[in-house]
């Protein structure tokens, strides 16, 4: 497995259940700190769409 540089939100720095991302020029990898082996792979366009949808409240319940 590739060695990736994972980052997490600053608000989550000491918590145990955090989203983490690793960004390359063509791909964004996403995982949970609770399940680090379960990695989702998105294109940069998919990542941009996901972040926009989150900011627009599309997933708010």
Q: Mean pLDDT throughout 11-40? A: 90
For residues 28 and 3, the answer to whether their CB atoms sit within 8 Å is no
pLDDT at 28: 97
Give the E-state strand segments of 6-45 in sequence order: 19-23, 27-32, 35-43
Q: What is the dihedral of CA 43, 47, 30, 42, to 10 degrees?
A: -20
Percent of the chain beyond pLDDT 90?
74
Pairing of the two strands 35-43 and 19-23:
unpaired
For residues 44 and 28, the answer to whether their CB atoms sit within 8 Å is yes
Quick: pLDDT tens for 39-60: 999 999 999 999 999 999 999 9
């Amino acid at each position: 497995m590739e060695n990736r540089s994972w980052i997490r939100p600053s608000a989550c720095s000491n918590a145990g259940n955090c989203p983490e991302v690793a960004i390359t020029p063509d791909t964004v990898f996403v995982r949970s700190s609770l399940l680090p082996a379960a990695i989702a792979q998105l294109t940069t366009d998919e990542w941009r769409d996901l972040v926009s949808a989150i900011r627009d409240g599309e997933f708010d319940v």
